Amino acid sequence: MLQSLINRAEVKAIIRRFEEREGIRGVIICDSSGLPIDSNMDINLSEEIAAYVTSLIGKGRQVVEALNEGSLNFIRLETSAGGESRETMIALEENLILIILK
């Protein structure tokens, strides 16, 4: 199980490392099924974002499989809101999903 591979202190350290960077709005770490393990954001918002990201990962994996491109490792979304540029980065590891909102 995930707890044996990554402990609570490691999860907190990952979040701290990213949230210290300029422009980071949020960090969410999920297990491989998409359930949030920890976040520096409101829990309800973290759960909502994780659900959308999990759906996106599923669709992304379908595309990668259809194109016979191997496995999906990373998704990067660039968006804009009110003229402000935003970015969402999703890293897929074997046992966790890292979501960074910038």
* pTM of the model as a whole: 0.87
Nearest to 26 by CA among 9, 46, 6: 46
pLDDT digits (tens, 9 = 90+) for 3-45: 445 677 888 888 888 888 889 999 999 998 999 999 999 999 9
CB atoms within 10 A of CB 15: 22
pLDDT digits (tens, 9 = 90+) for 44-87: 999 999 999 999 999 999 999 999 999 999 999 999 988 899 99
Domain positions in the chain: 2-101
Q: Does domain 2-101 have CATH number 3.40.109.10?
A: no
Placement of tokens 């907190």 in the chain: 12
Distance CA 61, CA 69 (A): 10
Alpha-carbon torsion angle 65, 59, 26, 9, nearest 10: -50
Q: Which two tokens stand for residue 14?
A: 């990952």
